[in-house]
Amino acid sequence: MRFARRTKLAIWGAALGAVAACSAQGAKPPGPPAPPSASKAARAEGSGDRSSFTVVATGDVIPYPSIIRQARTDAGGAGYDFSPILAGIKPVVAPADLAICHMETPYGPAEGPFTGYPMFQSPPDVARGLRATGYDSCSTSSNHTLDAGADGVRRTLDALDAAGVRHVGSARSAEEAARPARLRAGGADVAHLAYTYGTNGVPLPDGRPWAVNLLDPDRVIADARAARRAGAHVVLVSLHWGTEWQQDPDRQQVELAKKLTAARTDGKPDIDLLIGTHNHVPQAYEKVNGVWVVYGLGDQVASFVPGLYRGNDGSIARFTFAPAGDRWTVSKAEFLVGHSDTGPPFRVVRATETHFPEVRDRVRKAVLSRGAAQDGLTEGR
């Protein structure tokens, strides 16, 4: 912004594009992840058979000071516990074979200080809350990625590693920047890539042009093709793009979506799903060139004043992939509605016909505004 089925997780080892040629500049390598829970790992491994799997994706996580205070209260005044804040959407996130979040803000030192807009620093404890909720991978490329400089990038990725959450979109080394997050579900190798349109004018750190993945459609396509060559059966791409507070996708989003979804190798799409963030309001879903595009999920964790901003609303995307020849394709497309209830206490909840029905109605209207229902998108339960 300007102003459960625990899957087996592994790091992708293939080099992608020109970033592979950059030097690591002595950056700290990724640490080992926490072990995944046995149930989800076992189902991801399976017996080697190919099967359907679900992907759930949610919007921007932006811990404003009021949310940080809530996490402090939920931790009993010692540290920060974000699990209660996210507990309301855990029944949707945890059962997914793959669950993807967007971590918009960088983390500060464990002792703080923690800050809000315009230069964010969030508690590293957020990572543990994401893991406890069931997230497998998070995109970390946003216009706020460099708010705390290279140290903020390092702290964020270190904390996600320690929590056992994969990440992509920012990096501590050229080697790390040159590979997507690699996930596995239903017998499929899944690559997760992420990019941002910019960094609010904050320059890339000296000697670290790879610190944040910047959105260049040619690079996205090249990276997706490299991931395919390295063995990915499914490629998911998170994009931090668009115009803040604009319900309709802007011209650049529409044009980029057309170009990215049109990319083919041997007649097959290079990208299987585009997941948009940044707009703070839910935007449409649409099938473009046969590929599902979520232009903007809206916010997941935010605390704007009710009535002043609509940034407390978001959609939750859920796509089921099924084996089709040597690929997996989307066999079921769904959305659900999320809402940041400012309380007190602050909680992220599901919005339904009976629980925040006005939120559900306006998110539903936005999500279906470009004819996605005719392409088979339904509201999940």
Across the chain, mean pLDDT equals 90
DSSP tag of 319: E
Q: What is the pLDDT of residues 268-314, one digit of tens each?
A: 999 999 999 999 999 999 999 999 999 999 999 998 877 777 899 99
> Of 256, 160, 260, 150, which is closest to residue 212 (Cα–Cα)?
150
- Residue 357 lies inside a defined structural domain of this protein: yes
Per-residue pLDDT, 21: 33
- Residue 2 lies inside a defined structural domain of this protein: no
- In the predicted model, is pLDDT for residue 110 greater than 90? yes
Per-residue pLDDT, 306: 75
- In the predicted model, is pLDDT for residue 320 greater than 60? yes
Q: What is the pLDDT of residues 12-53, one digit of tens each?
A: 443 344 333 332 333 333 343 444 444 555 455 544 689 999
- In the predicted model, is pLDDT for residue 7 greater than 50? no
Burial class (CB in 10 A: 0-12, 13-18, 19+), 125: buried
- Residue 15 lies inside a defined structural domain of this protein: yes
Domain housing 225: 9-379
Percentage of the residues of the chain whose pLDDT score is greater than 70: 87
CA distances from 372 to 123, 151, 186, 365 (A): 37, 41, 26, 11
- Residue 128 lies inside a defined structural domain of this protein: yes
Burial class (CB in 10 A: 0-12, 13-18, 19+), 34: middle
Q: What is the mean pLDDT of residues 49-78?
A: 97
Per-residue pLDDT, 41: 52
Per-residue pLDDT, 309: 77
Per-residue pLDDT, 305: 78
For 277, the token pair is 């963030």
> Do residues 316 and 95 touch, judged by C-beta distance below 8 A?
no
pLDDT: is 358 or 305 the higher one? 358
- Residue 228 lies inside a defined structural domain of this protein: yes
Per-residue pLDDT, 44: 57
Where residue 8 falls among pLDDT bands split at 50, 70, 90? very low
- Residue 75 lies inside a defined structural domain of this protein: yes
pLDDT: is 36 or 121 the higher one? 121
- Residue 4 lies inside a defined structural domain of this protein: no
Give the domain CATH number at 106: 3.60.21.10
Q: What is the pLDDT of residues 149-161, one digit of tens each?
A: 999 999 999 999 9
The tally of domains found in the chain comes to 1
CA distances from 345 to 70, 177, 195, 282, 349 (A): 7, 38, 33, 23, 12
CA–CA gap between residue 352 and residue 361 (Å, rounded):
9
- In the predicted model, is pLDDT for residue 103 greater than 80? yes
Q: Which amino acid is at 316?
A: I
- Residue 21 lies inside a defined structural domain of this protein: yes
Q: What is the pLDDT of residues 176-214, one digit of tens each?
A: 999 999 999 999 999 999 999 999 999 999 999 999 999
159, HSE (Cβ side, Cα atoms, 13 Å): 25
Q: What is the mean pLDDT of residues 157-182?
A: 97
